[in-house]
Amino acid sequence: MSNSDPTDIAALDRKQAEAAERNHHSAKEEAEDIKWLMSSKRGRKIMHRILSNAGVFRPSYRSNALEMAFLEGNRNQGLALYAIVAEHCPGRHAEMIEEASKA
C-alpha cells in the first residue's frame, strides 16, 4: 500500500523526475555498453551472431502459425537490439556487416 497523497502534486512531480532520471541513466549506460561491445572485432562478431540467431537477416515465414509467431518474437527482440546498435554505432554497424560478409 502506498503512503503517497494523490493531491500532493509536488511529491508526484518529484517521483516523476526521479523516474525520468533513472531511465535516462539506464539508457545512457546501455548506449555506452553497446559502444564498448562494438568497439572490437570480437564484439562485433558476437553481436552479429546474436542478431543472426534472432533471425534479423532472414524471413521468418512458416506455414505453421505458432512456429512463425515464435520466430517473429525472436526476430522482434533482435530488431530492437539492431536498432540500438544502428543508433549508437552507425560506423561500427556497417563495419560489423562488412566483417560478417567476409567470414
pLDDT tens per residue, the chain (103 residues)? 456 777 888 878 788 888 777 777 788 999 999 999 999 999 999 999 999 999 999 999 999 999 999 999 999 999 999 999 999 999 999 999 999 999 7
Q: Calculate the CA 20 to chain-centre distance.
A: 19
Cell of 22: 533513472
User: Model pTM?
Assistant: 0.75
Query: For the purposes of burial, counting CB atoms within 10 Å of the CB of 92, is it exposed (0-12), middle (13-18) or buried (19 or more)?
Result: buried
Domain spans of the chain, in order of start? 9-102
CA atoms within 13 A on the CB side of 64: 4
